[in-house]
Amino acid sequence: MKRSWHLVLASALVAGAVTPVVAVGSAVAADGDITSAVLANRDVVLTGDAVVRVPQGTHTYTGVISGEGALRVSGTGTLVLAKDSTFTLPHSRQHQRVRIPGGNHPYVVVGSPDEPAVTVDAGATLQYGTGGTTGLIGSFPYNTPGYQQNQDNIRVDGTLRLSLTRLFNLGVISGSGLVTQPRNMWGTLQICGTNPFSGIFDNGTGVNFASTTCAAELPNARAVVNRGSWIIDTPLNHTVVQRQNFYSHEYGNDVNVHSRPGSKVILTGVYSWSDSGDGAAPSLSDPGLNWRPVAHKLNKRGTNIEGADVQWGDGTTHQIFMPGTAQTVYINLHARRQRSRLTFDYNGPVTLGAPVGGGMYHDTLGAPGAGDVVIAGTSGNDVTFAAAQYYDGSTTIERNATLRLGSGTADGDGSLHTGGALDKVIDNGSLVLRNTGTPTVLPAVTGAGSVTQSGAAAATVTSAAYTGATTVAKGSLIVSGTSLRTSSAVALTGSSAVLDLSKARDTTLRRLRVVTGAKILLPRDSPELTVGSTTATVSGNGLVIGGARFSVSRGDAHTVLTALPSTTTAHPSSAASGPAPSPARTGRAATSLGASTGTMADTGSHFGALWAVTGLAGVVLAGVAAVFVFVRGRSRPRTSPRHSR
């Protein structure tokens, strides 16, 4: 019997809506909904885009998906892949280009990335592997150095769980979900290229961010949860920037940084503990918990800089990357191909509360750090070291930047390492010393910057060649075995300020300003002070030099000059240009202020005092005569008539 035309048409439409599943040997060729084939553990050869709608629960797939097409994982359950799958996008949809420039130092560049070959929808979970080496979706046609760049890019809006024990790459990662690795899963995700992923990475054991053969970017990722080691490296002559906040979720996790010559790693976020939320929503209930130890040291975290050039901040923030103390964080500088370098680049005040050392992991003080520290010259960059530092290297303070040793509060004292072969301060900005309890000794200080002592605890300078100003606002600045003759000016700005020159190589100052009560200590046996080109030897109980007035007292080890009221800036005109001459070059005899007359004496004899007085009188009389002549000349009649306007 003939079928009516409308029945034929209806049958054709229904047939077109059914997913074709064609057996090919033991595999099925399919597109559309392949849920039933996957749940039945059948191998699938894609002939187009396909979807697996995963029901609730965990479902392990022991088959292989190959062919051409894209795969979407949807539903509410977890799909576990036990074997590697190898499908790719159809050739007509492939436009991704992979270049390998660099010559003898090759690195991978991914351009014009393809659309995702794999998509994990919100609510669904896709798991790569069962704790072994297989279970990855990928194709690797590029022969990339150092790792295999995956051709199959992935979008994760749900959850991607990585249960693999090998080095692997996911291609270009996008989406807004969660990429997570279980704890103690000794596999390593290699992230390369620019990944627009805006979700969260939860690192259970190990992630490589960039490498010697690829750069990496995560411009939009919300955060990194770190339970293991997040390892950063760079190709030659590349800068790698990571802007995410890191959240510590387990004891002993770290961020380890390597770099090649000419390269730099910039970290602009904060490495914080997380006591709230899970891997998908990390947070810290109280920022103060970063700074004090908690039970089982759960908030202990660290960074190892392995011969790398690392910069914290990019000049646009003022939240330090590693907030904490020696009880909650560790920071190590190691030398590998090169010495390490750590730069602080912030636009406001930050505090480093932990020592920078060179030990292994938690044993920071097991060895001195092998690297240098820079305070970048960004306007507003104000860094406080509130702990004793333990790196053998230079500390550079760039112009416009400030380094403070000590927070000015109890338990916040800071210092720099001394005694190392490479210890020195290059101060082109401002160095401020403000310990409250622990005296500090500085390594050699050079540069065009200033030094300010403003702490109750004494600070000692043992080698000073800086040319900026020296200020003592509070406490004692001790000059030992060196001098301040290169400093442009010395100011004692607080009544409790003490400048101790009793052990100085010489007591020459270019300019001097003092306030009442401030003190200068000179040697007991040979008390002499030079300001500019004026040299005074103390022999009485008072002293005037360059307009500054002092009382004089003597102790067992010091001669003490105490500034008296109405003191003025002592800065002879000759001191403004070039270094101050030494007493031997001034050609002037020592001068003192007699206790009975308060008058400067050239040698301390009465004849000298009389000569000083008569000489002064002669100068005054000469001045009066000059005025008389000038007035007499003005009073003579004019030889020409005055013009009217």
Residue 521 covered by a domain: yes
Q: How far is CA 1 from CA 4, 5, 462, in A?
A: 10, 13, 113
Indicate if 422 and 497 belong to the same structural domain.
no
Q: Which of 395, 422, 440 is the last residue of a domain?
A: 440
Contact of 82 with 135, CB cutoff 8 Å: yes
Q: Which helix (H) or strand (E) holds 273?
A: strand 271-273
Identify the three-state secondary structure at position 623: helix
Q: What angle do CA 277, 280, 283 make, to 5 degrees?
A: 40
Indicate if 265 and 371 belong to the same structural domain.
yes
CA distance 281 to 187: 24
* pLDDT value at residue 388: 98
CA distance 321 to 163: 30
**Residue that has been written with the tokens 């690195």 in this structure:** 107
Which residues, 6 or more positions from 464, have their beta carbon under 8 angstroms from its beta carbon? 444, 445, 451, 479, 482, 483, 484, 486, 487
DSSP string spanning 502-531?
Answer: EE-S--EES-EEE-TT-EEEEESSS-EEEE
Residue 417 covered by a domain: yes
Tokens encoding 535: 């040299």
Tokens encoding 380: 């507003």
CA distance 547 to 552: 16
* pLDDT value at residue 10: 38
Indicate if 332 and 406 belong to the same structural domain.
yes
Contact of 321 with 265, CB cutoff 8 Å: no
User: Torsion angle, CA of 214/220/222/227, rounded to 10 degrees?
Assistant: 0
* pLDDT value at residue 44: 98
Domains identified in the chain, total number: 2
3-state secondary structure 122-174: CCCEEEEEEEECCCCECCCCCCCCCCCCCCCCEEECCEEEEEECCEECCCCEE
Label residue 509 exposed, middle or buried (CB < 10 Å: 0-12, 13-18, 19+): buried
CA distance 488 to 288: 42
Residue 99 covered by a domain: no
Residue 188 β-bridge partners: 167
Which residues, 6 or more positions from 282, have their beta carbon under 8 angstroms from its beta carbon? 200, 223, 225, 247, 249, 274, 276
Residue 363 covered by a domain: yes
Residue 336 covered by a domain: yes
Q: Which of 388, 422, 440 is the last residue of a domain?
A: 440
Phi, psi torsion values for 563, nearest 5 degrees: -65, 135
CA distance 148 to 152: 12
Closest by CA position to 373, among listed 357, 393, 359:
393
Share of the chain above pLDDT 70, in %: 84
Indicate if 528 and 419 belong to the same structural domain.
no
Residue 545 covered by a domain: yes
The CB-side HSE value for 452 (13 A sphere, CA atoms) comes to 16
Residue 260 covered by a domain: yes
Indicate if 433 and 296 belong to the same structural domain.
yes
Indicate if 577 and 478 belong to the same structural domain.
yes
> What's the whole-model pTM score?
0.85
Task: Report the 10 Å Cβ neighbour count for 48.
Answer: 15
Indicate if 432 and 521 belong to the same structural domain.
no
* pLDDT value at residue 602: 31
Find the largest Cα–Cα distance for the chain.
150
Closest by CA position to 163, among listed 72, 81, 233, 259:
81
**Residue that has been written with the tokens 């034929």 in this structure:** 8
* pLDDT value at residue 577: 31
Contact of 148 with 166, CB cutoff 8 Å: no
Low-confidence ranges of the chain (pLDDT < 70): 1-26, 567-645
CA distance 94 to 49: 14
Indicate if 248 and 389 belong to the same structural domain.
yes
Q: For the chain, how are helix, strand and coil distributed in percent, rounded to 5?
A: 10, 40, 50
**Residue that has been written with the tokens 């970063």 in this structure:** 290
Residue 234 covered by a domain: yes
DSSP string spanning 72-136?
Answer: EEEESSEEEE-S-B--B--GGG---EEE---TTS--BEEESPPPPSEEE-TT-EEEEEEEES---
Indicate if 473 and 434 belong to the same structural domain.
no
Which residues, 6 or more positions from 412, have their beta carbon under 8 angstroms from its beta carbon? 353, 384, 386, 406, 436
Closest by CA position to 181, among listed 150, 160, 167, 209:
160
Closest by CA position to 279, among listed 191, 207, 163, 179:
179
* pLDDT value at residue 116: 98
Indicate if 302 and 346 belong to the same structural domain.
yes
* pLDDT value at residue 570: 53
Identify the three-state secondary structure at position 36: helix
Indicate if 418 and 475 belong to the same structural domain.
no
Closest by CA position to 462, among listed 446, 481, 476:
481
Q: Which of 402, 419, 440 is the last residue of a domain?
A: 440
Contact of 271 with 301, CB cutoff 8 Å: yes
Indicate if 412 and 483 belong to the same structural domain.
no
- Domain with 524, as residue range(s), is 469-615
